[in-house]
Amino acid sequence: MWFYTQGGARLVRRQAVTRNISERGIGLLARSMVQPGAPMEIRIVIPGSSAMYFGGVAVHCRYTTHGIYEIGVRLEARQDVPVFVDDPKVRALELPWLRQALLAFRNRGGGSGPS
């Protein structure tokens, strides 16, 4: 997974495990806290299949136990190639959902921690 931190100033990559997935969202478990409102990209690889890429926005993040956070992501895009991490600045101009999410995330100062 890739996600923005510091009010959208930095894009970070971390590993996560998919907990659940639906048509509109993905639940992840990770050792990193993700601020609600952070734009995210998730790469899912199923053995024997091509990678799938999902773009979305973190809607919640809560600490569970032993350094693990549960992250809920509202999905905005699904592609067979990276959604935005290949060229974030250009994609922010091309993808209205990403542009809006980054503006909102920056305006709130990148969030205030897990909810």
Residue 115: the pLDDT is 39
CATH number of the domain residue 41 falls in: 2.40.10
* DSSP assignment string, the chain: -EEEEGGGTEEEE--EEEEEE-SSEEEEEESS---TT-EEEEEE--TTS--EEEEEEEEEEEEEETTEEEEEEEEEEEESS-SSTTSHHHHHHH-HHHHHHHHHHHHTTT-SS--
Residue 66: the pLDDT is 96
Does residue 15 form part of some domain?
A: yes
pLDDT, mean of each 10-residue run, the chain (115 residues): 85 93 96 94 92 95 97 96 91 92 85 43
Cα angle at 33 between 56 and 74, to 5 degrees? 20
Does residue 68 form part of some domain?
A: yes
Domain span holding position 67: 2-107
Residue 114: the pLDDT is 40
Residue 110: the pLDDT is 61
Does residue 113 form part of some domain?
A: no
Residue 6: the pLDDT is 73
Could you tell me the sign of the dihedral formed by the alpha carbons of 28, 109, 8, 67, in that order? negative
CA distance 98 to 91: 8
Residue 42: the pLDDT is 96
Does residue 7 form part of some domain?
A: yes
